[in-house]
Amino acid sequence: MNFSRITIISGHYGSGKTNIAVSLAYDLKRIREKVAIADIDIVNPYFRTKDNEQQLENAGIRLICSEYANSNVDIPALPQDMYAVTDDKELHSILDVGGDERGALALGRISPAIREENDYQMLYVVNKFRPLTKDADSAIEVMREIEAACGLKFTAIINNSNLGAETMADDVISSLNYAAEISQKTNLPVLFTSVNRSVAEQLNGEIDNLYVMEIETKL
């Protein structure tokens, strides 16, 4: 994909946005020297970008994340170096934003600077198999809540519809109309449909615009 300087990934929690953010960070690193992934999820206490800390470091990707992530300190703290994302114009960043309107509130701290620079895209990750975003209207409702909380508008949609380890090719195919309806009702393009490698092999070229995630989904 064509990366802006800042790529913001958000969506309802459990949509799979952290896996997509990490995978995109690896892609970005292939074309840019200075790359960071910033985890500003203040809601989720367990599954964090920090789970991939070692691999990111090996790839030369800077991890910006609360020093309390994955610890017993249950504090919704933001990383102190998150301002590097907006201040350091040499840096290309992927932002992993928290799971709903409360999580997205944290992004509001730097959204004025992001708007002012205006070199960003904000991608809404959707999963048809999640109960609170199971149809286009409910997915759009969550989307508008996130936009209102963080003060930025989404620019495109990522269809990451999946049933975890049980995902079959047919499940992904059945989600295409859902993504198209969200796209039509919001006037935003579907950037791609994302799957892991085993599902991609099953799909065997059946879907255009397929994105194969580089990391295996946890649990």
Q: Report d(CA 156, CA 11) in Å as an integer.
A: 12
Q: Contact between 181 and other proteins (CB under 8 A)?
A: no
Choose between 132 and 212: whose C-beta lies nearer to other proteins. Answer: 132
Amino acid at 133: T
Choose between 29 and 128: whose C-beta lies nearer to other proteins. Answer: 128
- Segment interacting with other proteins, rule: CB under 8 A, options 2-10, 53-61, 159-167, 190-198: 159-167
Q: Contact between 14 and other proteins (CB under 8 A)?
A: yes
- Single out the residue of 59, 84, 132, 215 in contact with other proteins (rule: CB under 8 A): 132
Kindly state the greatest CA–CA separation across the chain.
Answer: 46
- Single out the residue of 168, 184, 198, 206 in contact with other proteins (rule: CB under 8 A): 168
Residues 80-119 that bind other proteins (CB under 8 A): 100
Specify whether the CB–CB gap between 10 and 155 falls below 8 A: no
Cα–Cα separations (whole angstroms), residue 154 to 1, 2, 162: 16, 16, 21
- Segment interacting with other proteins, rule: CB under 8 A, options 21-29, 57-65, 79-87, 160-168: 160-168
The C-alpha torsion from 124 through 36 and 198 to 165, rounded to 10°, is -70
Cβ atoms within 10 A of the Cβ of 158, count?
Answer: 25
Choose between 2 and 46: whose C-beta lies nearer to other proteins. Answer: 46
In the complex, the smallest distance separating the C-beta of residue 155 from other proteins, rounded to whole angstroms, is: 25
In the complex, the smallest distance separating the C-beta of residue 144 from other proteins, rounded to whole angstroms, is: 14
Question: Which of 119, 146, 151 has the alpha carbon at shortest distance from 7?
Answer: 119
DSSP class of 217: P
Q: Report d(CA 213, CA 7) in Å as an integer.
A: 16
List residues binding other proteins (CB under 8 A).
13-14, 45-47, 72, 74, 100, 127, 129-132, 134, 162-164, 166, 168, 170-171, 174, 219
